[in-house]
């Protein structure tokens, strides 16, 4: 039994020293699972033409402010500059923040921004799109069903992003390459 415990402690000690592994895997999983989710979502918000990145589509307003769009008859001209800038910032964030995370550039800041983005996305799904009334959207913890969009899925997204906030990007990153040598 002592030999088994010694072997176990030796193995776990080597895992504890592999502090590069967790942030590297977190970025890999983010790229594999969430990068295209956010980029495709961002593409749906772009306006027409080459300068569509500066002129969000009507769909962008519908996704971000669903109830307000309904109340103004889906006329984006009814929105003031604050709402237009908010939609523009949200659209850009869906491209820029995931790219920064995958590249490992300003990773902690980008992951923190993504946590805020996911929180706003979740609140929009619950309040703007009526997700409170759909148990499949809201979900619940400790209920044996791991398929709730908000309580289950997005909690894991935020955990993945918190790993990057706490640990940084890891050794294979621009953050590491640009860090001052000690």
Tens of pLDDT, residue by residue over 50-66, are 898 999 999 999 999 99
CA–CA separation, 60 and 133 (whole Å): 23
**Sequential DSSP letters for the chain:** -HHHHHHHHHHHHHHHH-TTHHHHHHHHHHIIIIIHHHHHHHHTT--SSTTGGGS--HHHHHHHSHHHHHHTTT-GGGS-HHHHHHHHHHHHHHHHHHHHHHHTSSHHHHHHHHHHHHHHHHHIIIIIS-GGG-HHHH--TTSS----IIIIIIHHHHHHHHHHHHH-S-SSSHHHHHSPP-
pLDDT per residue, tens digit, the chain (182 aa), is 788 888 888 888 887 887 889 999 999 999 999 999 999 999 999 999 889 899 999 999 999 999 999 999 999 999 999 999 999 999 999 999 999 999 999 999 999 999 999 999 999 999 988 888 888 888 888 888 888 888 899 999 999 999 999 999 999 999 999 988 87
In order of 41, 98, 149, the CA distances from 44 in angstroms are 5, 16, 20
Residue partners of 161: CB distance under 8 A and separation at least 6: 30, 111, 112, 114, 115, 118
């Amino acid at each position: 039994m002592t030999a088994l415990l010694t072997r176990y402690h030796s193995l776990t000690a080597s895992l504890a020293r592999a502090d590069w592994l967790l942030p590297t895997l977190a970025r890999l999983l983010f790229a594999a699972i969430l990068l295209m989710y956010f980029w495709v979502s961002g593409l749906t918000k772009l306006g027409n033409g080459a300068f569509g990145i500066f002129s969000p589509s009507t769909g962008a307003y519908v996704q971000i402010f669903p109830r307000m769009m309904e109340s103004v008859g889906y006329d984006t001209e009814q929105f003031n500059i604050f709402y237009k800038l908010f939609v523009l910032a949200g659209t850009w964030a869906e491209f820029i923040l995931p790219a920064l995370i995958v590249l490992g550039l300003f990773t902690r800041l980008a992951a923190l921004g993504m946590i805020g983005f996911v929180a706003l996305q979740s609140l929009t799904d619950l309040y703007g799109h009526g997700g409170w009334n759909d148990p499949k959207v809201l979900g619940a913890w400790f209920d044996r069903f791991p398929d709730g969009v908000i309580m289950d899925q997005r909690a894991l997204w935020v955990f993945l992003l918190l790993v990057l906030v706490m640990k940084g990007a890891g050794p294979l990153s621009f953050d590491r390459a640009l860090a001052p040598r000690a």
